[in-house]
Amino acid sequence: MRLTVFGATGGTGRHVTRQALAAGHRVTAVVREPARLPQIDHPRLDPVIADVMNSEAIRPAVAGQDAVVSALGPRSRRDAPVCADGASAIITAMRAEGIRRLIVVTASGHVVDAGDGPFTRAVVKPMLRRYLREGFADFARTEQVVRDSDLDWTIMRPPRLTDGRQRPYRTAIDRNVRGGFTIARVDLARAILAALDDPTTAGHTISLGY
């Protein structure tokens, strides 16, 4: 598979890049800053320096690819929201190049549904919404942009991300994972690549957690 990864310098993006290369895929890693490229010397890794907010600038990075992964996200709460605008530019570039398969990472925190327990619905999620209001609003806008596209999209909704080791995880389609409060980035990357290999995940959200 020929795969383009946006946000390849982030915690999740680095794992997606490494795991995709290990699985035999060819990866185009799109970054803004060359110094932040993953420290990977691999013959199937093609680094591209481009502004993800500029759909024309990123068209060459998605041209001829089989799939695109967006693992974009702010590095801190002080950073401006980037997910929705980035997703919009990526979708525009994909449409222009005729590329259909897209996976976008958001989060499970901004969504309250039947997968959540009573305490999570009544206490945990309202607290998170107050504390992470801008980030959650960006995730909600991102999901709407993705849903409104005519692409074969999948939205990944992880809970709080950690740098823990690989372990078994649970997933749920179109609903949150009951009691799934954390997941390691390495396992989120595994789930992303698994979704890419499963066409039945197109048009759905996938929540996950331990």
Phi/psi region, residue 164 (left: phi>0; alpha: psi -120 to 50; beta: rest), is beta
The pLDDT score that the predictor gives to residue 80 is 66
Q: Rounded to whole angstroms, what are the CA distances from 192 to 16, 35, 97, 117, 122?
A: 8, 25, 22, 25, 30
Stretch 179-207: mean pLDDT, rounded?
Answer: 97
Domains of the chain by residue range: 2-209
- Give the distance from CA 116 to its chain's centroid: 21
The pLDDT score that the predictor gives to residue 27 is 97
Q: Answer yes or no: are the C-beta atoms of 152 and 103 closer than 8 Å.
A: no
| Two tokens, residue 171 | 């997933």
Single out the residue of 195, 199, 200 nearest to residue 70, CA to CA: 195
The pLDDT score that the predictor gives to residue 145 is 98
Residues 70 and 149: their CA atoms lie apart, in Å, by 15
At 120, is the pLDDT very low, low, confident or very high (cuts 50, 70, 90)? confident
CATH superfamily, region 2-209: NAD(P)-binding Rossmann-like Domain (3.40.50.720)
Residues 174 and 207: their CA atoms lie apart, in Å, by 7
At 37, is the pLDDT very low, low, confident or very high (cuts 50, 70, 90)? low
Stretch 156-172: mean pLDDT, rounded?
Answer: 97
Stretch 71-100: mean pLDDT, rounded?
Answer: 89
